[in-house]
């Protein structure tokens, strides 16, 4: 049984997605239960895979028994086990959260479709993580993207359809660029297996075809994870989608695309190529600081809470790319912890925004007056995630920024230290604003929200938020847990196969 886990992780959500359509015909309520169960099973399988990979090293699964490099290979190693666990955990939390949220914010008539498409999205994401075949990566990328476009449009907000359309156009350009990159690599090597490519490419590193392919990969995945100048689609897509969808887009979809780029950078190409042959680090050294500062400054200017969170994502992506560019183990560890970090925090924060919108329909930050007393659990979780985003010690946000700062010093680029400090202060500014309105202002008089008593969201929405906030604290205090997995993955990436 356990030798088939790498494929089961992908198949469970896939078949459950089809099952939801069938079950939805007879019993609409079954949809949520199946989705939660499927994501939970995927999470359980991921934990088991991570444990197996940690104990025994790289797990290779041959699809249909065909030997790689001819057949498709699924690979679970330190890195993919780590990312797999994070993504499936967040997917499970959001599935649990969705029960009440979707009924109200998406509508009963679309409930079945929502969960089926949600599971297809998870299928695509988990598939992208475990696959060891670069064309298979493209196929899963498109499965995840298509499900993502549909989910953005599923909500009741009018602008969401246009946001989804723009996301589709830019997302497809990104995916086609990835496809072109794969074509170029296949043209010169005749193989699609990542490990095999790694062995064949070094002799061709100065071939223009291989260089072009790499450029296509960076731009293609960069479009998908909103690398700074390519981020425009993210703002409207993440802010207008239903909050549960924004949460999975920010926490999982962005992260998996970053993961895909890391895979291509370190598994298909080698550290030697990305740091010595192409000037990728130099480009990231310019893009990342601009992304970090621009994201944070624009977030301060926002009055809509979801738009603020969307801008903040751009800055956080900047941190991850900065860590990738620094080319040492400490910084790469920081980047990988930041992937966990941002998945927890931004996933959590969008869910919290969802809770607030579910109960009050308030998007405007200045109307959150006195919310700290009316929704104490929600706002407490918001405060913890916010502090973590700022990087206050004892939260997980501190750990990744600490590693990034150490990595910056190790690389001898001390001038990035003020950048990290300034951007943390800017982050503090925009989160503090929310906390101030929520806790230090008297509640708005009741006529502002007629006929409505504001109370906590349903318990099933609060539990995932509570768990996520708790993990922000646990990983912040017991920092050795994420640190060990991330360090091992970083060591593995820089060290070789």
Per CB under 8 A, residues contacting another protein are 135, 138-139, 142, 146, 149-150, 153, 158-159, 161-162, 164-165, 168-169, 172-173, 176, 179-180, 183, 186-187, 190
Nearer to another protein, 182 or 251 (CB): 182
We find the least distance from the C-beta atom of residue 383 to another protein, in angstroms, to be 30
Q: What is the token pair recorded at 389?
A: 């985003």
Say which residue the tokens 């934990």 belong to.
47
Q: Which of 105, 189 has the CB closer to another protein?
A: 189
Residue 150 CB, nearest distance to another protein (Å)? 6
Burial of residue 126 (number of CB atoms within 10 Å: 0-12, 13-18, 19+): buried
Residues belonging to the chain = 497
Q: What are phi and psi of 363, to 5 degrees?
A: -110, -25
| Shortest distance, position 180 Cβ to another protein, whole Å | 6
- Looking up tokens 């909050």 gives 243
Question: How far is residue 286 CA from its own chain's centroid?
Answer: 23
- Tell me the pairing of strands 59-62 and 73-76: antiparallel
Report in angstroms how near the CB of residue 294 gets to another protein at its nearest.
22
What's the sign of the alpha-carbon dihedral 272, 276, 278, 284? positive
- 5 vs 146 by CB, closer to another protein: 146
Name the minimum Å distance from CB 219 to another protein. Answer: 13
On whether the CB atoms of residues 105 and 118 are closer than 8 A, the answer is no
Q: Which is nearer to another protein, 150 or 461 (CB)?
A: 150
Q: Quick one: 187 or 301, whose CB is closer to another protein? A: 187
Q: For 332, how many CA atoms within 13 A lie in the half-sphere containing its CB?
A: 21
Shortest spacing between CB 207 and another protein, in angstroms = 15
- Is the CB of 69 or the CB of 323 nearer to another protein? 69
Backbone angles phi, psi at 411, to 5 degrees: -80, -5
Cβ proximity to another protein, 164 vs 341, nearer residue: 164
Question: What's the closest the beta carbon of residue 64 comes to another protein, in angstroms?
Answer: 15
DSSP 67: P
Structure tokens at 130: 């475990």
For residue 182, the minimal CB distance to another protein (Å) is 8
38 or 134: CB nearest another protein: 134
Query: Which residue from 355, 384, 386, 366 is spatially nearest to 437, judged by alpha carbons?
Result: 366
For the chain, the first-to-last Cα distance in angstroms comes to 26
Q: Minimum CB separation from another protein for residue 491, in Å?
A: 34
Query: Which residues does 183 contact at the CB level (< 8 Å), separation at least 6?
Result: none
Minimum Å gap between C-beta 170 and another protein is 9
CA separation for the pair 368, 439 (Å, rounded):
9
**Residue recorded with tokens 């800055």:** 315
Residue whose CB is less far from another protein, 161 or 481: 161
Q: Catalogue the long-range contacts made by 437-442 (C-beta closer than 8 Å, 24 or more residues apart).
A: 437/365, 437/366, 437/368, 437/369, 437/371, 438/368, 438/369, 438/370, 438/371, 438/372, 438/379, 438/382, 439/372, 439/379, 441/369, 441/370, 442/369, 442/370
Nearer to another protein, 168 or 194 (CB): 168
**DSSP count for the chain of H helices, then E strands:** 21, 2
Whether residue 69 is preceded by a cis peptide bond, meaning omega within 30 degrees of 0, is: yes
Rounded to the nearest whole angstrom, what is the least distance from the CB of residue 165 to another protein in the complex? 5
Structure tokens at 473: 């604290």
Task: Work out how close the CB of 344 gets to another protein at its nearest, in angstroms, rounded to a whole number.
Answer: 30
In the complex with another protein, the residue whose CB is nearer, 57 or 190, is 190
Specify the residue, 123 or 383, whose C-beta has the smaller distance to another protein: 123
């Amino acid at each position: 049984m356990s030798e088939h886990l790498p494929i089961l992780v992908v198949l469970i959500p896939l078949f459950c997605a089809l099952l939801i359509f069938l079950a939805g015909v007879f019993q609409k309520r079954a949809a949520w239960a199946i989705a939660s169960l499927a994501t939970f099973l995927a999470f359980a399988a991921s934990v088991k895979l991570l444990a197996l990979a940690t104990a025994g090293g790289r797990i290779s699964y041959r699809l249909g028994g065909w030997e790689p490099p001819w057949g498709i290979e699924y690979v679970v190693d330190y890195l993919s086990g780590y990312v797999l666990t994070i993504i499936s955990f967040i997917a499970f939390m959001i599935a649990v959260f969705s029960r009440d949220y979707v009924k109200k914010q998406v509508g009963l008539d679309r409930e079945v479709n929502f969960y089926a498409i949600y599971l297809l999205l998870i299928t695509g994401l988990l598939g992208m993580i475990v696959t060891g075949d670069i064309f298979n990566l493209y196929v899963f990328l498109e499965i995840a993207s298509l499900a993502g476009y549909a989910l953005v449009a599923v909500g009741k907000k009018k602008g969401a359809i246009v946001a989804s359309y723009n996301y589709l156009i830019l997302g497809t350009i990104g995916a086609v660029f990835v496809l072109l990159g794969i074509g170029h690599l296949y043209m010169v090597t005749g193989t699609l297996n990542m490990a095999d490519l790694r062995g064949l490419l070094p002799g061709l590193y100065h071939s223009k075809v291989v260089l072009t392919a790499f450029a296509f990969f960076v731009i293609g995945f960069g479009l998908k994870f909103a690398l700074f100048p390519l981020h425009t689609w993210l703002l409207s897509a993440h802010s207008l989608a239903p909050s549960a969808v924004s949460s999975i887009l920010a926490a999982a979809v962005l992260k998996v695309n970053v993961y895909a780029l890391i895979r291509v950078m370190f598994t298909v190409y080698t550290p030697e190529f990305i740091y010595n042959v192409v000037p990728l680090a130099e480009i990231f050294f310019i893009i990342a600081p601009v992304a970090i500062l621009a994201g944070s400054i624009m977030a301060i200017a926002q009055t809509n809470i979801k738009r603020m969170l969307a801008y903040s994502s751009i800055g956080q992506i900047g941190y991850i790319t900065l860590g990738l560019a620094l080319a040492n183990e400490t910084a790469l560890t920081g980047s990988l912890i930041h992937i966990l970090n941002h998945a927890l925090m931004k996933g959590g924060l969008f869910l919290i925004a969802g809770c607030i919108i579910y109960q009050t329909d308030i998007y405007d930050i200045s109307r959150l007056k006195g919310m700290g007393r009316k929704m104490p659990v929600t706002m407490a979780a918001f405060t913890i995630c916010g502090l973590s985003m700022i990087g206050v010690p004892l939260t997980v946000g501190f750990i990744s920024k600490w590693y990034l700062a150490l990595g910056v010093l190790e690389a001898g680029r001390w001038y990035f230290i003020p950048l990290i400090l300034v951007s943390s202060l800017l982050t503090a500014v925009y989160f503090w604003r929310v906390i101030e309105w929520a806790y230090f202002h008297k509640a708005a008089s009741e006529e502002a929200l007629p006929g409505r008593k504001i109370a906590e969201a349903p318990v099933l929405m609060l539990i995932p938020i509570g768990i996520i906030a708790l993990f922000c604290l646990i990983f912040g205090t017991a920092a050795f847990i994420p640190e060990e997995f991330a360090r091992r993955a970083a060591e593995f990436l820089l060290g070789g196969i």
